[in-house]
Amino acid sequence: MTATNKGPVRVAMIGLGWWGRKMTAVLQKAHDDIEIVCAVEPNPDGEAFAASSGFKWYADDRAALADPRVEAVVLATPHSLHAEQIERAVAAGKHIFCEKPLAMTRAGAEKAVKACAGRNLILGMGHERRFEPPVAAMLASARSGELGRILQIEANFSHDKFLSLDPSNWRLNAAEAPVAGMTATGIHLTDLSVALLGEALDVRVACENLGSNFPQGDTMSAHIRFRNGGTAYISATLVTPFISRFAVYGTKGWIEIRDKAHVESPAGWVVTSAMTGTPISVHEVPPAEPVKDNLVAFAQAIRGETHYPITGDDLIGNIAILEAIIKSAASGAIETVA
């Protein structure tokens, strides 16, 4: 799109919980591209945090949307609020960066994507894994044909951070965050799977409660088949020490990426790979800040400097997988992806 403004994109941070505060911290390192001018948090401690961070506080997103300085909103809110918040932001002509998942159904994702496209608004998504340097390099290798035909994906993204949460926290609400770690971490793995293999065909899911009393379960795995061939096996638990591993296998080579630490405090990556006729190699990639890089890419797209790299089709395809995973976890059967 053609930008009409210059300077940093002025945003309202909607939600000052754990992840909203993480994004606030990284945006303070990206002030040349994006600037928080106000924040929304209904909890009383939000006002003090906003004041200490140097921006105005509102208790409701409607007030932030009415602030003439605001060009875009960053939604770090419970999943069930996304649809109405996106609808209000679109009506106000604001660009939107939404934390994952965008919606809980394909229809919901389609509505959000079409609404933004219809108003020529940028829709950014909190899939910062695409902006991790080794993951970006892996995606480039796959798209260039260097890995050959992509055959299979194996991935796990798990942690035990939720064991310390109060049971009333929305992240432990089965309606808000169903199927163990799917909406917290597994959604990143299906996003990368869509980027590599395209539209999914069907899924089969196992979800159990083995190490906690979490109402959504704590241990899940999903087997996904894709319309053009290829499969992905992903797992996401909520009761094991942190691990993040993503491996892609092609006819000409394979790459496995392991994070040294959670993206909240990135510590770098270990990449193991092999190509046809070459020995297995192992190298380390230094720390980066993919959360910041994703938000900067969003701001640069608003300014017309680049295209935002996550397409609307990918956003819809990923949520279509999520919807089928939720159905399969409940039925225990293979469920077709809409």
Residue with the two structure tokens 């035990």? 160
Buried b (16+ CB within 10 A) or exposed e, 311-335: ebebbbbbbbbbbbbbbbbeeeeeb
pLDDT tens for residues 200-251?
999 999 999 999 999 999 999 999 999 999 999 999 999 999 999 999 999 9
Domain-by-domain residue ranges, the chain? 9-128, 129-336
- The CA distance from 70 to 72, in Å, is 6
Cα angle 145, 234, 319 (rounded to 5 degrees) comes to 85
Which band of pLDDT confidence, cut at 50, 70 and 90, is reported for residue 1? Answer: very low
Query: For the packed helices 106-118 and 312-331, what is the interaxial angle rounded to 10 degrees?
Result: 160
Is there a cis peptide before residue 101, judged by omega within 30 degrees of 0? Answer: yes
- Segment 261-276 shows an average pLDDT of 94
H helix and E strand count, the chain: 9, 15
In single-letter form, the type of residue at position 52 comes to: S
Model pLDDT for residues 96-116, shown as the tens digit of each residue: 999 999 999 999 999 999 999
pLDDT single digits (tens) 170-208: 999 999 999 999 999 999 999 999 999 999 999 999 999
What DSSP state is assigned to residue 186? I
137 alpha-carbon distance from chain centroid: 18
The pairs formed by 43-50 with CB atoms below 8 angstroms and a separation of 24 or more are: 43/16, 46/16, 49/16, 49/21, 50/16
Q: Angle at which helices 187-197 and 133-144 pack, to 10 degrees?
A: 20
pLDDT at 3 over 60: no
With a cut of 70, say whether residue 2 has pLDDT above it: no
Q: Under CATH, which number does the domain 9-128 receive?
A: 3.40.50.720
Per-residue pLDDT for 62 more than 60? Answer: yes
Lowest mean pLDDT, pick from 28-37, 65-74, 295-304: 28-37
The mean pLDDT value for 154-161 works out to 97
- According to DSSP, the residues that pair with 274 across neighbouring strands are 254
Q: Please answer whether residues 285 and 291 qualify as being in contact, where contact means their C-beta atoms are separated by less than 8 angstroms.
A: no
* pLDDT confidence of residue 4: 58
| Domain 129-336 architecture | 2-Layer Sandwich (3.30)
CA distances 246 to 78, 158, 239, 242, 293, Å, are 26, 12, 19, 14, 20
Assess whether the region 9-128 and the region 129-336 belong to the same CATH fold: no
Structure token digits, residue 154: 């194996």
Q: What is the pLDDT of residues 133-149, one digit of tens each?
A: 999 999 999 999 999 99
DSSP string computed for 106-155: HHHHHHHHHHHHHTT--EEE--GGGGSHHHHHHHHHHHHTTT-SEEEEEE
**Which of the 8 DSSP states describes residue 185?**
I
Query: With 80 as the cut, is the pLDDT of residue 31 above it?
Result: no
Residues, the chain: 338
Residue 273 has pLDDT above 50, yes or no: yes
pTM of the model: 0.95
Say what percent of the chain tops pLDDT 70.
99
Contact 308, 289 (CB under 8 A): no
- Give the β-pairing of 231-237 and 219-226: antiparallel
Task: Round to the nearest angstrom and report the end-to-end CA distance of the chain.
Answer: 30
pLDDT of residue 28: 83
Please, is 303 exposed, middle or buried when counting C-beta atoms within 10 Å of its C-beta (0-12, 13-18, 19+)?
buried
Token pair of 78 as six digits? 């419970």
